Amino acid sequence: MKNPFFTLIAGLLLLLASANARSAEVRVELNKLEAMGDGCGAYLVLGNETDSAFETLKLDLVMFDTEGIVAKRLAVETAPLGAGKTSLKVFGIDGLPCERVGRVLLNDVMACADAAGPRDDCLDLVTPAARGRVEFIE
């Protein structure tokens, strides 16, 4: 007969391991949009909750206008990004005024590498979030 105490401990350990695995993410928050020349400046706050320091983390972002039509597509390099580090990246969306940005799509992670080399799990690690009126979706 199995010992119920050991079964309970094993279950709790699995639950804790699962919770820790889910919390290891790179949170990418679209924090604000601000007029920048004839376009828009986007402020991304990145929170690296993993144990990896990323040497490259290039995001494929698609901007939709307020009508839901694709307006721009950009590749944005957000690294370097240290393990356990929060940082701010600002990039310009030329030719698209902020008031015309309806939502932003995290389409893909184009390149991702840490000190050990290229990684193929980064799209699963990146979690988009947003403040303000513009949604940031995946």
- For residue range 48-93, list pLDDT tens digits in order: 999 999 999 999 999 999 999 999 999 999 999 999 999 999 999 9
Judged against a pLDDT cut of 80, whether residue 97 lies above it is answered with yes
Position 2 confidence tier, pLDDT thresholds 50, 70, 90: low
Query: Global pTM?
Result: 0.81
**Topology adopted by domain 25-137:** Immunoglobulin-like (2.60.40)
Neighbours of 26 (CB within 10 A): 22
Position 44 confidence tier, pLDDT thresholds 50, 70, 90: very high
Domain ranges of the chain: 25-137
Residues 6+ apart with CB under 8 A from 109: 57, 58, 59, 60, 122, 123, 126
What is the pLDDT, as a whole number, of residue 16? Answer: 44
Q: What is the mean pLDDT of residues 30-36?
A: 97
What is the pLDDT, as a whole number, of residue 14? Answer: 47
Query: Considering Cα of 26, then 27, then 30, then 32, what sign does the dihedral take?
Result: negative
What is the pLDDT, as a whole number, of residue 15? Answer: 42
Range in 18-22, 47-51, 78-82, 127-131 with the lowest mean pLDDT: 18-22
Compute the distance between CA of residue 65 and CA of residue 33 in angstroms, rounded to an integer: 14
